[in-house]
Amino acid sequence: MKLIGVGVDVIEIRVVERMIHEMGSRFLRLALTATEMEKLPDPAGQPMYVSRHLAAKEAGMKALGLGLGPGTAWRSFQVHDDPSRVSMEWLSPGGEEVSFQLAISRSAETVIASAWAFRATIEEAIR
């Protein structure tokens, strides 16, 4: 595997909480994939859940040298936030060639995510 980039992002939980309050399901549909929406916790847990996902997605975009904009959306990435491991996949064409390693931490006010993006080398791809 070849490291292609590293990204870091910090999300203020209160900002996400405000967006959920103001925009409701519209914001959630912009931020989360259908699979992520299926695991959405009760309203009290939503700000932390969404903050973790957005921080990971933003860190992943930065690791790829992308920004949020035309051709790239939060829903271009899917986070699997399991108790034993957090992982992410890039859902864009060619995204299957990229893998991510994630680290997510939080305080009462913020979530910070680091993402390392890797691409398989040619030798690995032909094995």
pLDDT of 17 reads: 98
CA dist 83 and 60 (Å) reads 20
CA dist 88 and 56 (Å) reads 8
Domain at 2-125, CATH class: alpha beta
pLDDT of 121 reads: 65
User: Of how many residues is the chain composed?
Assistant: 127
Q: Is 80 helix (H, G, I), strand (E, B) or coil?
A: strand
pLDDT of 4 reads: 95
What does the pLDDT look like over 90-114, one tens digit per residue?
A: 998 888 899 999 999 999 999 999 9
pTM listed for this prediction? 0.90
pLDDT of 88 reads: 96
**Domain-wise residue ranges, the chain:** 2-125
pLDDT of 23 reads: 97
Please give the C-alpha separations between residue 86 and each of 26, 54, 96, 122, in angstroms, as whole numbers.
25, 13, 17, 26
For the beta sheet containing 2-12, the strands, ordered from the edge strand earlier in sequence to the opposite edge, are 2-12, 110-119, 98-106
With vertex at residue 41, the alpha carbon angle to CA 38 and CA 46, rounded to the nearest 5 degrees, is 110
pLDDT of 9 reads: 97
Number of neighbouring beta carbons within 10 Å of residue 5: 17
Low-confidence ranges of the chain (pLDDT < 50): none
